[in-house]
A = this chain, B = another copy of it.
């Protein structure tokens, strides 16, 4: 394609966006920002997106069948699964003006995922064990009511997604299929050029299963995630589920006198650290939670950690957990929010203490009294030492791997896919049963598998760029070669363009009447893997340069065609 016919322009003056991917993709004319988190794909960007989606489609076609589900769905489906009021990014629609509302007052859900749509669909068709397994996927736009959307294609309010749903007669059948999907995902990442740097990571199974779900995480310096590598089992964990052991703290061993310090309106670790002049590591963070049965429990962790509600839920043995209401906090601690501690708690209340404070001495915690904090608290002397300590914290950099007591290898990553063994959560919600071989009515087992195709495009840019622009892997590059014609080379370029096109090689020919420098800058920014120059000086030959390398070679057209042979690229 001729540059002059391609609807795009690398923008000379482009404002900088917070993310590298948005900045480069907008500057390069791949996408345009319609609003925060919502992008238009221009021809150059659509070419890349289409290549990513076609690779995804080809791998999915080997294990599933493609469908196209709608973006809208009736609220009643989401009410039936209990998700209408709990999915925190869910959007709904309504008439945009009075005339529209007067014609149709209904509101619909704008889907961010499709379990709630596909389960009743499959329920209509698949009612006998003979009808399983079922595996349907689609590639389309999804919607999330994101609070902030500052990461370009990594976190969109509207984004492209491949989602696959599978249904099985048994948990073992689901597990077997789940491994097939994992392998298909690995293949997709390999094909788009992320194979070596993408790892399968254990993640939370969500609130409906104690099994792990799996994330595919790409190692990436600008990544927003942290993953923890356990070399003893060769396992990656995301920070939600990584087991963690806090590093030890040096103590002088001397117990000091327990005191209550008055600090009016001083709440929260940061304020305390400043006010008491103690390090956060010597503070204890105490939080009051309620379970689904309204049991009030207490959790405590070293001050520089966060409580991990997933780990805590497992330890408590409950299904739901939320921070206690103000009234419940008052009843438990006799104080307002912000002064909870471990002293003088009501008898019989269950207290879960993280291992990070097992050996603490002279520590700080709330005094369970308005405006007061206890300092120099010591286990045994001031408060009974728990029989058992737990791991209920969010892992962080510097933590030790409990398996071997050595510091964790922690890596920055960007998530490029996740898969969930859903079990029977949704089939039960829709009372969807099938007749098994033994004549029994059973709930099908279900898995769901997501891969954000536009997000993947963003991760590729985050991963493959330098200070001049993007370096696309050839499988997803918008073109195979970027042909630059300089003064005197127009006719040779025209001829070469025709030759390459006849060989079905995707060429972007910069035929503009602009300076050589401008053309080179555009080529570097757009990031096609191979740049060719034809000029008065190159004669019968062509100047060859790979985007990722600095070597420039003068080669014959025959050699060029040989190098561009699809099988060799």
Contacts and interface: CB of A to CB of B under 8 A. Distances in A.
Interface of A: 5-9, 32, 34-35, 38-43, 46, 49, 65-74, 78, 84-100, 103-104, 108-110, 117, 121, 124-125, 134, 136, 140-141, 143, 145-147, 157-158
6 contacts: A7-B134, A8-B125, A35-B74, A40-B70, A88-B99, A103-B145
A494 to B, nearest CB: 20
Contact of A88 (B5, B86, B100): B100
A72 B103 contact: no
A72 B33 CA distance: 12
Contacts of A65: 5-7, 43
Contacts of A42: 67
B92 A95 contact: yes
A64 to B, nearest CB: 9
B68 A84 contact: no
A90 B100 contact: yes
Leading 5 A-B pairs by shortest Cβ distance: A90-B96, A92-B96, A103-B147, A41-B68, A85-B97
Contacts of A49: 68
A447 B425 CA distance: 50
Nearest to A91: B93
A71 B141 contact: yes
Contacts of A73: 34-35, 38
Given A46-B66, A146-B104, A91 B94 contact: yes
A40 B66 contact: no
Nearest to A1: B65
A97 B93 contact: no
Contacts of A134: 7
Copies of this protein in the complex: 2
Contacts of A97: 84-88, 90
A146 B93 CA distance: 13
Contact of A34 (B69, B96, B146): B69
Given A43-B66, A49-B68, A69-B34, A96 B103 contact: no
Given A98-B85, A145-B104, A9 B93 contact: no
A224 to B, nearest CB: 18
Nearest to A121: B32
Nearest to A93: B91
A204 B516 CA distance: 50
B117 A72 contact: no
A229 to B, nearest CB: 32
A93 to B, nearest CB: 5
A173 to B, nearest CB: 17
A32 B49 CA distance: 28
A110 B143 CA distance: 11
A447 B11 CA distance: 26
Given A32-B124, A34-B117, A96 B109 contact: yes
Contacts of A108: 35, 38, 157
Contacts of A69: 34, 40-41
Nearest to A88: B99
Contacts of A136: 7
Given A85-B97, A104-B145, A147-B104, A68 B40 contact: yes
B103 A70 contact: no
A525 to B, nearest CB: 15
B39 A70 contact: yes
A316 B57 CA distance: 57
A117 B68 contact: no
Contacts of A90: 95-97, 100
B70 A125 contact: no
A393 B124 CA distance: 49
A145 B100 contact: yes
Given A86-B97, A87-B100, A95-B91, A72 B109 contact: no
